[in-house]
Structure 1
């Protein structure tokens, strides 16, 4: 059975691939190579396999090329969309910056108005105290005048009694005329003094009423000033407190720390005291002291805000190219934690400190390239990496808005940008918390 099958297969192969001879002729000899049917079949199958492989490989290359072209076009479209979105965000950021400047100007104007109103309040309170003292003097004078009036009335009554007695004596003794005239003159003078005392008492009462009316007007004016100051304090302090809490900073501890370490103009305010006696404070004085405490708190918030990084390190036009959190590493392609935010702009773009502080590092730092570290109050540290030029030295004190370097592409980067970090207690936090918190206030 196997022999027949083999013979049939051989016959079929002989039909399609008959035996061939390949002659190799030289000058002296002629040789040939016999190509059997099986050999030809193997050669044909190998050639067909090579041709099929070439066709498949060419098709794969063409498909990959077409797919790559589509991917590049899609990438370009995504890049154009992303750039347009970044331009919109940049415009919004510039608008926010202008709004922040306007809000800062309004805030400064409100502080000036509060200072003026505080001066008016102190002057009004002093005037009210003077009027109260004047009323006390008038009341004392009035009481003395009333006592004098009563004494004069008693004298007049006594004189009238004496006059009646003298009149009876005169009637009994017609020759005693001179003493009666003297008594009549004395009685007239006493009556005149009595009328004058009564008139003075009435004038004193009128003046007391007028001064009481002035005090009532001043109290109403003081109440209006108090209300305006209280509203201004509420509007000013609440956003600052919200800003610190949004940044995750404990406001009570920070305010206490600023209060302990503060020395200079505009510091903690002294409570009011209008009297040297140990009397209890009036409601207005207590209200004024509460306002002074709020103004003191506002001033401490202002100082604390100056010491914390509530600002943007780049003031020129820029693009946000990478945010805080896990992302695809542009070098290795793996997933990696990005502990800051990236601002992209041209090489040499000025970089500014976001808060007052001391430079603790200014030099090369491995993958960060040229980097500046600034230590601020409250255990906060900011880092500015990949700079092209350093403009500060270690140990130097810098202020918010002071230029510390230029944007570049030093270190482990794929392009020109600034890598900006905020660390609290050597732990990286999202810098956008501080930037967005400041945008809501300044």
Structure 2
């Protein structure tokens, strides 16, 4: 049938003598059928809607009610969670602020301690050319508020032993709260390390100061020089009790006492005649019993003789006041200097005298020149050290001066 033209249907209507006819074309038939079908479908749909409208409206209303209840339940749950989180954050924020306050208080305490031991360290530097390499110096104060923002609520995972433990929710991964808590632990350990280093440094300095003072006084005692350190602790005692209080305060007190002793020992040694009046010159006659150079009989020699050419400059062995400057019998031209504490030195057989009685001389000041005046067989310096008028071996004193020279 494809490709073949089909003739349209013709409808004839006869009514008596009247005859009417019209042609039914295919498109008209299709259009009429479509209109009728559409009308039928619309009618059926309208009838169905009218019949089922109440049921549909009721189901929709029930579904909306269920959805509303579900949303309200979800909102209530979220509100409860927000309230719990807010309360937890406020509590954790208070804990964090408390930790930061304690850290800042400890830091302030360490800063104050550093300010207290600063002058003591300066004294130790003055009394010692170089501090021990292991002596720590507290660092400058860090800005903890820049490191930890206390305005942000944190949940701590685990605090250090310095504070109570506080557990955080297990999330299976490291959170910002965990990192903040680790920072607190690190800061606390750092402050404890600084405090320990401060105390250890003071103890080390005190030990070093006591040792140096003992070396100075021990060398002077061996040389026969008078040792009088007025520290006020030579008449004390009692049972040994452990320190229950502030170890830092005890360390400061011990270091201050040690430096006071060292300063007293140095001040005492500075005025003693411990220098060599003719450095680099050989000794021709020592202290003690010897054969007299003129009589050739045993005799006591109260000093030592330095062999040197005439005119060689003679230096004072220490600070003092000239009490005699002129001719003195067998000494020839002689200078006598009073150094205090009963100590005096004599420089004899001089060719020239450069000081006068009553003059104050410093250590290494030129007091005269080598000669051979008085009871002498040749140019040399006769040097004596006396304590309360009794002679002591000058060579021992000079050796003591050499031993403690680097300690002064």
TM-score bin, normalised by smaller chain: 0.5 to 0.7
- 1:306 equivalent to 2:270? Answer yes
**Contact map agreement 1:373 1:384 (CA 8 A) in 2:** yes
**Contact map agreement 2:207 2:258 (CA 8 A) in 1:** no
| C-alpha distance in 2 between matches for 1:362 and 1:184 | 108
- 1:238 equivalent to 2:214? Answer yes
What do you get for the CA RMSD once the two structures are aligned? 3.1
**Contact map agreement 2:213 2:266 (CA 8 A) in 1:** no
**Contact map agreement 1:247 1:437 (CA 8 A) in 2:** yes
- 1:256 equivalent to 2:149? Answer no
CA 1:368–1:249 in 2, change beyond 3 Å: closer, same or farther?
closer
| C-alpha distance in 1 between matches for 2:304 and 2:375 | 15
**Contact map agreement 1:258 1:304 (CA 8 A) in 2:** no
- 1:200 equivalent to 2:93? Answer yes
Question: What is the 5 A alignment of 1:70-81?
Answer: none
Report SS of the residue matched to 1:243.
helix
| C-alpha distance in 2 between matches for 1:292 and 1:322 | 45
| C-alpha distance in 1 between matches for 2:79 and 2:288 | 106
Question: What is the 5 A alignment of 1:219-298?
Answer: 219-251=195-227, 254-256=228-230, 282-298=246-262
Report SS of the residue matched to 1:441.
helix
1:371-398, CA deviations, whole angstroms, 9 ceiling, x for partnerless residues? 0000012110100000011000100001
Q: Name the structure 2 match of 1:429.
A: 392
Shift of 1:247: 2.0
| C-alpha distance in 1 between matches for 2:265 and 2:89 | 63
The structure having more radius of gyration, on CA atoms, is 2
Report SS of the residue matched to 1:198.
helix
| C-alpha distance in 1 between matches for 2:204 and 2:216 | 19
| C-alpha distance in 2 between matches for 1:402 and 1:396 | 11
Shift of 1:249: 3.5
Matched residue count: 240
Q: Equivalent of 1:397, from 353, 360, 371? A: 360
CA 1:430–1:258 in 2, change beyond 3 Å: closer, same or farther?
farther
Report SS of the residue matched to 2:217.
helix
| C-alpha distance in 2 between matches for 1:351 and 1:420 | 10
Report SS of the residue matched to 2:355.
coil
| C-alpha distance in 1 between matches for 2:229 and 2:99 | 52
Q: Name the structure 2 match of 1:106.
A: none
| C-alpha distance in 1 between matches for 2:232 and 2:91 | 64
1:89-129, CA deviations, whole angstroms, 9 ceiling, x for partnerless residues? xxxxxxxxxxxxxxxxxxxxxxxxxxxxxxxxxxxxxxxxx
**Contact map agreement 1:321 1:344 (CA 8 A) in 2:** yes
Q: Name the structure 1 match of 2:144.
A: none
CA 1:366–1:206 in 2, change beyond 3 Å: closer, same or farther?
closer
Shift of 1:222: 1.8
1:337-381, CA deviations, whole angstroms, 9 ceiling, x for partnerless residues? 111110011011110110110000111111111100000121101
Unpaired runs of 5+ residues, structure 2, are: 1-75, 101-183, 234-243
Unpaired runs of 5+ residues, structure 1, are: 1-182, 260-279
Q: Name the structure 2 match of 1:416.
A: 379
CA 1:335–1:192 in 2, change beyond 3 Å: closer, same or farther?
closer
Question: What is the 5 A alignment of 1:34-73?
Answer: none
Shift of 1:202: 4.3
What TM-score do you get using the length of structure 1 for normalisation? Answer: 0.49
